[in-house]
Structure 1
Amino acid sequence: MTAEEMITVAKDNGITTLTLNQPENRNSLSMAMLQALSDQLEERAGDAETRVVVLAASGRVFCAGHDLKEIRGQLDSHQFQLDLFNLCSKVMQQIVNLPKPVIARVAGVATAAGCQLVASCDLAVAADTARFATPGVNIGLFCSTPMVALSRNVSRKHAMEMLLTGEMVSAHRAEQIGLVNRVVDEQALDETVHHLAATIASKSGHTLQIGKEAFYQQLEMGLTEAYDFTSEVMAKNMQAADAQEGICAFLDKRKPDWKDK
């Protein structure tokens, strides 16, 4: 299967949907799948037509994590394992650093690195049939890299419970602990995701980029440093053409004309 077949691309009014398309392999994050996803994310970063990225999957499994069959064939190769986890970590960071918001559309099961993929996205909408787990502990391989994204989205005790037990978490429980934003009936999933993506895509792309970047940067700072940093960000943002247009449009009671600058 080619990279283009592994991940299909659809564009609609500023929304680009990237669909993991190996349902026969449970959309596992093989080296080839990770590289294809990395390439797509790199392309989206520079794509002026894309304002929002939706990450979806075909079949009944969103993503089962790493390809254990591929790993079993390389059990004696530390270099392969290191390359695999480094590439996976790169992809997760590409999602966080992408200058466009990323929404996970989750139908089915997301486990291990698949759960990490959901946690790495800026937003996540799940069907009520979706389930989540970090089950590495069950096979003697603790989900250490998925832990990075998981622990930055849910509280420590909830993250530790998932990591230590390896048990499945329902979609509604995932919403309760902050792993996903919304849970909807499976028939309403596409409509809900599209409405959310379209709402975000209607904003200034320049402003979205500023806000997303600042959000993740300030999370790593102390309170005073974060306020100093974001004050500077807002002052700089205020000089942008879109900010000035937005303020004038609001006061004039008209729709803003974004220039994305």
Structure 2
Amino acid sequence: MADIAPFAPAGSGLVLKTVENGVLRLMLNNPPANALSIALMQALRAELEAAGADPDIRVVVLAAAGKLYSAGHDLKELQGHRGDADGGRAFFSRTMELCADLMQTIVNLPKPVIAEVDGLATAAGCQLVASCDLAVCSDTSHFCTPGVNIGLFCSTPMVALTRNVPRKQAMEMLLTGDTIDASTAREIGLVNRVCPRQYLTQTVQKYAELIVAKSPLTVRIGKEAFYRQAEMSLSDAYDYTAGVMVENMLARDADEGMGAFIDKRAPHWTGE
């Protein structure tokens, strides 16, 4: 397993990054709570968009500095605009639109995104975890959507949450605002795996390396198809994915992979 390169500031310094063997690691760096301020969301979105266009990047990992993964939106930033002429409406709208765009950027990115969670992920921070394709957390991590406790229902985090966990569990989190532990998050499907924190980065890196070893074309096709078919009826999903498989079958990487399997040799991917 490759060593993890040291993080370096990206742009504003609100996001730190490193690239190693096709894996881009992005670390939220907005202490103490890694709040999703306008500036942080813009910086993170820019890094993700750049990663999507970079053929050398095959997997993205989203980690965070400090004891909190992310406490969600920056409440002080939001409250600071209540004195605006419109009572804050324009700024609130801008914040929610940017957050929705960021989450959709993760889902639509042609590379898998893995959340590496060590600490508390709350509200839009929990939404960020749920929006990632995979999520691994330390055994001391916790998750919640506590907006109801402060008179602000977590309506936008609800979108990602209800697409990843059963409805009853999602409603329990949303209506009570209670915090769930790592094992419960694993049980309901919010995260893929829980491990001791000293092995967290190694575990995530192992996942990333397994994916990097696959055909980048096949991974891109598969991720896009996964999210598209999930919103379709059963019949439409089969019609759509049948077409996807035919086009995938015609790709050079599919020919190479199937031939390599038959020949009992390692495949050589070209991404075509």
Q: TM-score under structure 2 normalisation? A: 0.94
- The alignment status of 1:3 with 2:14, answered yes or no, reads no
- Residues of 1 paired with 2:250 and 2:62: CA distance? 33
Q: Is the 8 A contact 2:165 2:188 kept in 1?
A: yes
The AA in structure 2 aligned to 1:100 is K
Q: For residue 23 of structure 1, what is the aligned residue in structure 2?
A: 31
Which residue does the alignment assign to 2:99? 88
Q: In 1, Cα distance between the equivalents of 2:151 and 2:112?
A: 35
- What is the CA–CA distance in structure 1 between the aligned matches of 2:66 and 2:216, rounded to whole Å? 32
CA separation in 1, counterparts of 2:251 and 2:211? Answer: 19
User: Which residue of the partner structure matches residue 179 of structure 1?
Assistant: 190
How many residues align? The count is 260
Identity among equivalent pairs (%): 57
Q: Assess if the C-alpha contact under 8 Å between 2:10 and 2:17 holds in 1.
A: no
Question: Which whole-Å CA distance do the structure 1 matches of 2:12 and 2:59 have between them?
Answer: 20
Q: Per-residue deviation at 1:22?
A: 1.5
Give the match for residue 228 of structure 2: 217
Structure 2 residues not aligned, in runs of 5+: 1-8
- Aligned to 1:5, what secondary structure does the other structure show? coil
Who is 1:64 aligned against?
71
1:201-251 CA distance string (max 9 Å, x none): 110111000000000000001111101100000000001000000000111
Q: Does the aligned pair in 2 maintain the 1:106–1:126 contact within 8 Å?
A: yes
Out of 177, 202, 221, the residue aligned to residue 166 of structure 1 is 177
The 5 A counterparts of 1:29-178 are 29-75=36-82, 76-178=87-189
1:18 aligns to what SS in structure 2? strand
> Deviation above 2 Å: which 4+ runs of structure 1?
1-4
Letter of the aligned partner of 1:128 in structure 2? D
Q: Which amino acid aligns with 2:25?
A: T
Deviation at 1:3, TM superposition (A): 3.4
- Cα drift, residue 52 of structure 1: 0.5
CA RMSD of the aligned region, Å? 1.0
Structure 2 Cα separation of the partners of residues 183 and 77 of structure 1: 40
Question: Of the candidates 233, 237, 246, which is equivalent to residue 235 of structure 1?
Answer: 246
What displacement does 1:23 show? 2.4
In structure 1, what residue type is equivalent to 2:271?
A: D
Deviation at 1:77, TM superposition (A): 1.3
The structure carrying a bigger helix percent of its residues is: 1
**Structure 1 unpaired stretches of 5+:** none
Q: Give the Cα–Cα distance (whole angstroms) in 2 for the partners of residues 72 and 232 of structure 1.
A: 49
TM, length-normalised to structure 1: 0.98
Q: 1:248 aligns with which of 247, 255, 259?
A: 259
1:2 CA displacement: 7.6
